[in-house]
Amino acid sequence: MRWLRAEGRFVSLVRPLTPPPLRATTVIVQETHADGVRLPELAALVDAGGIRVEVEDTYPLHDAAVAHGRLAEGGVHGRLVLIP
């Protein structure tokens, strides 16, 4: 939450991990379920800038253990993406 600008929006997909709002931010919990049919729609929203995803780094799939280790160290400010 400290990286979210004042009056920004934070969307959580996991209810127990939802942080409290700070600095006039809005926290939204969006319940989700697996839906491969709508995945292209979601990808199009990301590509069009409608959804912003902060990616800190990418790893080839065979380096998944390295990516997990990086998460365990802490200090990651975006998503780590595994590339097949």
What is the structure's pLDDT at 80? Answer: 93
Assess whether 65 and 28 both reside in one domain: no
- CA–CA dist 73, 36 (Å, integer): 32
Assess whether 67 and 36 both reside in one domain: no
Domain that holds residue 32: 1-53
What is the structure's pLDDT at 83? Answer: 95
**DSSP H/E element including 47:** helix 39-47
Assess whether 17 and 45 both reside in one domain: yes
If DSSP codes are grouped into helix, strand and coil, which group holds residue 83?
A: strand
What is the structure's pLDDT at 38? Answer: 85
CA 16 to chain centre: 15
- CA–CA dist 30, 42 (Å, integer): 14
Assess whether 5 and 34 both reside in one domain: yes
Model pTM score: 0.49
What is the structure's pLDDT at 1? Answer: 62
List average pLDDT for each run of 10 residues in the chain, which is 84 residues long.
76 71 79 81 90 91 95 89 93
- Which residues does 75 contact at the CB level (< 8 Å), separation at least 6? none
